[in-house]
Amino acid sequence: MKIINGSVFLEDGKFDEVDVVCKDGLISAIGQDIASSNDTEIFNASDCYVIPGLCDIHLHGCMSFDACDGTKEALAAMAKYEASVGVTSILPTTMTYPEETLTTIAKAVSDYRKYDNHTEGFATIHGINMEGPFISPEKKGAQNPKYIQNPDYDMFHRINVASGNSVRLCDIAPETDGAMEFIDKAKDETRISLAHTTADYDTCKEAFRRGAKHLTHLFNAMPAFTHRAPGPIGAAAENENVTPELICDGVHVYPAAVNMMYKVFGADRLIMISDSMRATGLPDGEYELGGQPVIVKGRRATLHDGTLAGSATNLFDCMMTAVKEMNIPLADAILCASRNPAKAIGVYDTVGSITIGKQADFVIINKSDLSIKKVIVRGKYVNS
């Protein structure tokens, strides 16, 4: 395949009028007037931007399926839908459940990655984001309090082994008993994220010093930033090794606050996520998340008591919301939804940018309204 006449978003974070050639699912050449064989399929991207496939490292489900279903069917449905909306790399995210359930999910992901991870037109599953159960009951959000427990490295390790050593993110509340020791043991096995926490600035600073490097859904399920108590946000902001997630659906975080965090953390660190639940891609109604009923109306998903419960929006729509409603430049928004998450979970060597040798994943969007014109995964059209 050869993509011609498009404005291509390259690894340096800038657009350039170049052609891109793909072979055997990989990007084989980038430049002007590139020769290709006569049988090469040509896609004319005139009046379009060509950007890398997006990478969502925090999503629970979509199209009535959830990662916690623990089945090949659920994972395949998620991978198919996400590819259709330009999200070509995903990290299915678990909820707070007992070890037996989490192990079942881990095994399902391991099996999928072995046998089904290159299905034509489907997003690539890179592993697991383990959001529970090592969190604070006081900041549980939509997590099920029945299964919350203190950090347990041995339990985590067993689940990680069951996943094929693919738990790429693991959340903890650093103020809980055993959290610091957990960081000491697990920091070289996974990327540790602070989440669903009541921790103050000093506790978070110590957690980052010990090796935690991520902050889950900034502002949500954590103490607020104030001038006398900067909390997790303040501790993350001053540590350049820490990557913060932001849900840019226009519901979880006020647009001005998103723009402020973009200015604080910059386009090199900020990571956009969807935190999508199984209602994503479906009409308004009542659904389920982590064993609890959720009501979805528009972009908003809540428990019966009004607690926000993930989002009903995919990452591409979140990225467009950031551009159109939150004053984040398109180029920087692309970095926050492709390069940065891929780097955070250790897969930037294969995805996350348009670079020779990487997976041929592209989203081709119309310049006029930034709508998707075509998605390409591993050099093949999606929904063609």
State the pLDDT confidence band at 97, using cuts at 50, 70 and 90.
Answer: very high
Please tell me the distance from the alpha carbon of residue 32 to that of residue 49, in angstroms, as a whole number: 16
CB distance 75 to 92 below 8 Å: yes
- Condensed to tens digits (0 to 9), the pLDDT of residues 256-306 reads 999 999 999 999 999 999 999 888 988 888 887 767 788 888 777 788 887
Annotated binding residue 220 = yes
- Condensed to tens digits (0 to 9), the pLDDT of residues 63-81 reads 999 999 999 999 999 999 9
Q: 25 exposed, middle or buried (CB, 10 Å; 0-12, 13-18, 19+)? A: middle
Please tell me the distance from the alpha carbon of residue 327 to that of residue 7, in angstroms, as a whole number: 21
Mean pLDDT of 161-166: 98
Annotated binding residue 209 = no
Structural domains of the chain in order of their starting residue, each with its CATH number: 2-49+368-381 (2.30.40.10), 54-351 (3.20.20.140)
Q: Measured at the alpha carbon of residue 331, what is the angle toward residues 329 and 215, in degrees to the nearest 5?
A: 80
pLDDT value of position 384: 53
- Closest by CA to 82, choosing from 113, 60, 99, is 60
Q: Measured at the alpha carbon of residue 21, what is the angle toward residues 15 and 23, in degrees to the nearest 5?
A: 140
154: annotated active-site residue = no
State the pLDDT confidence band at 201, using cuts at 50, 70 and 90.
Answer: very high
Neighbours of 216 (CB within 10 A): 26
Annotated binding residue 210 = no
Task: Name, in order, each residue with C-beta under 8 angstroms of 227's C-beta and a sequence gap of 6 or more.
Answer: none
Please tell me the distance from the alpha carbon of residue 83 to that of residue 96, in angstroms, as a whole number: 27
State the pLDDT confidence band at 307, using cuts at 50, 70 and 90.
Answer: confident
Mean pLDDT of 128-136: 97
Annotated binding residue 352 = no
Annotated binding residue 142 = yes
Annotated binding residue 308 = yes
**In the predicted model, what is the mean pLDDT of the chain?**
95
Q: For residue 161, give Cα distances in angstroms to 25, 110, 150, 155, 168.
A: 29, 9, 20, 10, 12
Please tell me the distance from the alpha carbon of residue 109 to that of residue 36, in angstroms, as a whole number: 38
Catalytic, out of 19, 171, 275, 361: 275
Annotated binding residue 252 = yes
CB distance 86 to 54 below 8 Å: yes
Annotated binding residue 221 = yes
Q: Look at residue 83 and tell me whether its pLDDT is greater than 70.
A: yes
- Condensed to tens digits (0 to 9), the pLDDT of residues 135-157 reads 999 999 889 999 999 999 999 99
Neighbours of 241 (CB within 10 A): 11
